[in-house]
Structure 1
């Protein structure tokens, strides 16, 4: 007689609470704990089945230390369990013995140096979907718990429909919030673009759509410039925002300039969206605010002298930087030497506490002239 470690009644109750967690994401940890109790598991987590993912995925506290080591030590780059994916796609669920043998358990560094350190050994992966995203509920057992067997596998596969329903609800909630944010940006006359966790544009609001032309396009989910180096810079900026604390990475904290011949450039600055459901369930996880310098008044040199203690010549150069011009263009316009303009530009950046010309342009073009007292 086969004795299951899974309690179907308790699992059914836990799955009912999954739907509650869909509407109250802060409950995910507690619900995953209930699933662990019902399945004889030590810990549980939810991960994308394909593509990259970052720390912060829904998981029980029992797995937090292991996840920290997983990312910190690079085990995610050699995760044997990615081999479960074909099995999940074929039958909806996979267990450890679908991909590994007892010999693997004895010899593999992944099982011994990583999982063994925490007493982990056996897992089950239950696949489910939301939109075009494939997700998995991972259940982790220790060496003492023993493996998931084929009878338990047949019970686990029945979890899929309710997991998918919960994920769809969370995705729907994120879409509603996204609609509200997009409308709010439109009402505030701010152009913006929303991005998913892969760095693809998911939505442009009406104002940003109006900025697309032959120089700046949306191609295959990516905002691009006619100049490849600017497209590369924007791609790097978005990637850094998605993967790093903005304060710790200059690529994440520095805006990007997209040039437009005959007009002042666009300045793009992205940031992660907070207050959304767990990002693996969310339609979009970051927003980029697009500033059209053509619509921004340029402060006078006199105002800039007052605000930043610039010299008269530095203030003249600063006004040109605010218009989005580069040092070569400024040198030609003012009939100054290129190195002279570079020297003034460095001084302006130092006095305005900026590190890049795009930051100077964004800062100076955002000054509200009405808030500055007139000089006598």
Structure 2
């Protein structure tokens, strides 16, 4: 158990060292005779969730059974005008506890009763729910426990604000760094809106544009479908943020060159609770007149010299027949090398590999 001074010190440390939030969550539970504490971002609770280890049974059930997307309990709590922690038993009756599905099908089987919670609004426009959870056998939330948590709440809110601002600045710096490397880029939120974009992306119109409600739109319609699918899967919980990376091609459009769009998840464990960013979107223009050397390609993908020569020929725009003619090989040999190249690169289609290689910028 931390002393009062140590508790405040830990809270403000967590703004700079986000992994320290777990200690704060555990302390809040221990100090109030509760099972554990959770901290949930309402922008995307399927992936933005911190919780005491003692709440693993609840968090696992919430995510696996999809309760985060049909959480009547959270909806009610967010509607309460509050200036501190609220006793949930004052807003849900025993009849509610025995009728509302999230109580009857999720919390009751695990032995949880009513807890106490509050929400904090962050500069990114999100609201973070802080919920202290109790097992029903330990009895109701005590008034003294709520009073103690209310003493901590202003400090929790300030630390959350600081975390949110620091994370926003970190992401903004990353977008500006990509500007220096010549790469058009943006940051997308969990609902697909553009949170930040550098000027290079704006110059990629009409191939890529930012339209109404800060939505990103590609002139190449299939690319919109890929992006929408990634966002939808992430929101539904079918895709975890840490495995959400993907790349897809954009063909030449008017004066805009062909390009590869890379979706890179914004990761950082606890830090990500405090910012709405989901993806970095980075656009790599394809210049087939500057394809890397066979040695570079071979080193990147662990290819044999013969495989690397075939890979470079394909990336330069030759098809199987043209590659066979250029390298004095049979078409069957080229196809055999292509199979080996795909196996080593982990890609399933020749076009994906070619696009990836063509997007690599050779060192001048």
TM-score range, shorter chain: 0.7 to 0.9
Is this contact kept in 2: 1:237–1:256, CA < 8 A? no
Q: For 1:95 and 1:83, how far apart are their aligned partners in 2?
A: 15
Structure 1 stretch displaced more, 66-75 or 282-291: 282-291
Aligned position for 2:73: 81
Shift in Å at residue 76 of structure 1? 2.8
Q: For 2:234 and 2:338, how far apart are their aligned partners in 1?
A: 23
Aligned position for 1:258: 250
Change (3 A) 1:257 1:89: farther
Give deviations 1:123-167, integer Å, cap 9, x for gaps.
112111111111111011111222236776566555443222111
1:198 lines up with 2:191 in the alignment:
yes
Secondary structure of 1:366 counterpart: coil
Q: For 2:25 and 2:291, how far apart are their aligned partners in 1?
A: 54
Shift in Å at residue 170 of structure 1? 0.5
1:20 lines up with 2:13 in the alignment:
yes
Change (3 A) 1:277 1:307: farther
Quick one: which of 25, 30, 35 aligns to 1:32?
25
Aligned position for 1:3: none
Change (3 A) 1:62 1:56: farther
Give deviations 1:310-360, integer Å, cap 9, x for gaps.
87xx98765338xxxxx9xx99xxxxxxxxxxx999988644313343442
Secondary structure of 1:279 counterpart: helix
Is this contact kept in 2: 1:192–1:289, CA < 8 A? yes
Change (3 A) 1:188 1:239: farther
Change (3 A) 1:179 1:229: closer
Q: For 2:100 and 2:231, how far apart are their aligned partners in 1?
A: 36
Secondary structure of 2:114 counterpart: strand
Structure 1 stretch displaced more, 135-144 or 105-114: 105-114
* TM-score, length of structure 2 as denominator length: 0.76
Q: For 1:160 and 1:267, how far apart are their aligned partners in 2?
A: 46
Quick one: which of 29, 40, 45 aligns to 1:53?
45
Is this contact kept in 2: 1:195–1:284, CA < 8 A? yes
Gaps of 5+ in 2: 298-303, 322-331
Is this contact kept in 2: 1:266–1:291, CA < 8 A? yes
Shift in Å at residue 108 of structure 1? 5.1
Change (3 A) 1:134 1:344: farther
Q: For 1:122 and 1:92, how far apart are their aligned partners in 2?
A: 16
Aligned position for 1:135: 128
Secondary structure of 2:31 counterpart: helix
Aligned position for 1:320: 317
Is this contact kept in 1: 2:201–2:208, CA < 8 A? no
Shift in Å at residue 44 of structure 1? 0.3
Is this contact kept in 1: 2:43–2:126, CA < 8 A? no
Is this contact kept in 2: 1:83–1:99, CA < 8 A? no
* TM-score, length of structure 1 as denominator length: 0.73
Q: For 2:43 and 2:276, how far apart are their aligned partners in 1?
A: 15
Is this contact kept in 2: 1:44–1:140, CA < 8 A? yes
Q: For 1:56 and 1:344, how far apart are their aligned partners in 2?
A: 49
Structure 1 stretch displaced more, 192-201 or 35-44: 192-201
**Looking at both structures, which has the greater relative contact order when contacts are Cα pairs under 8 Å and sequence separation is at least 6?**
2
Is this contact kept in 2: 1:21–1:27, CA < 8 A? yes
Q: For 1:315 and 1:18, how far apart are their aligned partners in 2?
A: 54
Give deviations 1:24-62, integer Å, cap 9, x for gaps.
2121111111111222322101112x3432246221111
Give deviations 1:247-305, integer Å, cap 9, x for gaps.
96xxx45412233424432211122233475212025343122101148624699x999
Q: For 1:344 and 1:365, how far apart are their aligned partners in 2?
A: 26
Quick one: which of 209, 217, 224 aligns to 1:231?
224
